[in-house]
Amino acid sequence: MKTSLLTTLLALAAGFTPRALADYPIASHRYLADPSPLVTKDRVYIYCSNDDESPVGGSYNIPNVICVSSSDMKNWTDHGSVFRAADATTWAKKTWAPAAIERDGKFFLYFGNGGANIGVATAPTPVGPFTDPLGKPLLTHGTPGVQPARNMWLFDPGAFMDDDGQAYLYFGGNGDDNVRVAKLKRDMISLDGEVIKMNATNFFEAAWGFKRNGRYYFTYSTTPRAQMRIDYLTSDHPVNGFTYGGVVAAQPPLNFNDNNHSAQFEFKGRWYHVFHNRIVAKQAGIPTGFRRNLGIEELGFNDDGSIKRVVYTTNGVAQIGHLDPYARVEGETFSTQSGVETDPCSEGGMTLTDLNNGDWVLVSGVNFGDKGAKKFKARVASAGEGGVIELRLGGPDGKLVGTCKVENTGGWQSWKPATCDVSGATGVQDLCLKFTGGEQPLLNLDYWQFE
């Protein structure tokens, strides 16, 4: 269970309204870093280093990979831990800066075991369960082509598949000549030839490759002397001929000139830049060095293919479509929140948990239609006195359209339905689920749906 993050207090301290924190940060209820995307037809999945377990006072402890996803770029679903190295392998303890890719209906997750080697895990779905197919690292310092290298960090894998079906894995760190790229065989868990050497000016970490309009892009974090910004190279070939293109993005706000990591991707016809900074830890009043959080911005290109420098905002990503409230919606799906936590659910997936009086989640762009909703139902559990789910439009103090009472169900994982009538929920609205009751934890919420 994670530390509660009171988004309302963060918003007041930062001078923003709660609504303005929707994209910066996203998934503000937990500490995540080193994001990389996997795009499917209907969703984008972001795989992250998990800073929730890092000591507040200092040092990284990143033993597992967290995944969040979205279908509309506003509301994000927390899928929890999808891979824990110590449980799933016999050789790895860390899962730094993961990256995932799909081939032939199978999903492949690459991760750094610290800076020592890189492993791969496989799964039948984007959210696991991921298992170790090799029983050993995929890449080590002894892999042909990795050496010679001076003080090389062997981590930060970036997976890329070209239009012809050839897959590559970019990786490396700590030196201009320490960029490496490996061609992968069709099975995605073995190498096709020796590792290939690349060069990038001021290369530090966060290797990432993508392609747009026939042009290949390689983005990376620069060294401290180069401001630890995100720079990029371009080429007409995926592994050679790269030349310097310029700056993708400066250091993110409230990242305190600390490590920087980003990735770029296209989803539903728009391009995005996902990154981490440290605003949540800053506003929570804890040391910012080892507790990071996610942010996302739209990415633009000039007519000549060069990248427009990212301008950081607090609410700069437009929602793509609207959320359907008449289909099942997971409780852990929201755009912003105050005080909530998530835990694994005994019935699968995750659940909102440790919900106290006044906590809330906001779901953006919910389309209730012209006729509107008449009933609300939820899957809930409580080992305490229960509480109330207030259904409000626009925010935690918005128009009340329904009040759903939750009784004691006999346990925090003893799930039962709860229902209530709804009146006044029509059109496209931001929906706030506000939890009220006594002073003890009230209830857990698995999912909800309107009728």
Q: Report the distance separating Cα 250 and Cα 228, nearest Å.
A: 8
> What is the chain's length?
451
pLDDT tens readout for residues 348-384: 999 999 999 999 999 999 999 999 999 999 999 999 9
Active-site annotation, residues: 34, 205
Question: What pLDDT does residue 22 have?
Answer: 36
Residue 192 host element (H or E)? none
Question: What pLDDT does residue 10 have?
Answer: 38
Question: What pLDDT does residue 47 have?
Answer: 98
Question: What pLDDT does residue 136 have?
Answer: 98
Question: What pLDDT does residue 302 have?
Answer: 98
Establish whether the linkage from the previous residue to 148 is cis, with ω within 30° of 0. yes
- Is the Cβ–Cβ distance between 41 and 276 less than 8 Å? no
Question: What pLDDT does residue 316 have?
Answer: 81
Sign of CA dihedral 387, 393, 398, 401: negative
Query: What pTM was estimated for this model as a whole?
Result: 0.95
- Is the Cβ–Cβ distance between 380 and 446 less than 8 Å? yes
CA distances from 80 to 31, 74, 265, 300, 351 (A): 12, 18, 22, 31, 10
CA distances from 347 to 1, 220, 376 (A): 17, 40, 20
Name the stretches of the chain with pLDDT < 70: 1-22
CA-based R_g, the chain, Å: 22
Residue 336 CA, chain-centre distance (Å), reads 14
pLDDT tens readout for residues 233-256: 999 999 999 999 999 999 999 999
- Residue from 413, 416, 433 nearest 425 by CA: 433
Question: What pLDDT does residue 11 have?
Answer: 37
DSSP 24: S
Question: What pLDDT does residue 25 have?
Answer: 92
Q: Report the distance separating Cα 212 and Cα 232, nearest Å.
A: 13
- Residue 266 CB-density burial (10 A; 0-12 exposed, 13-18 middle, 19+ buried): middle
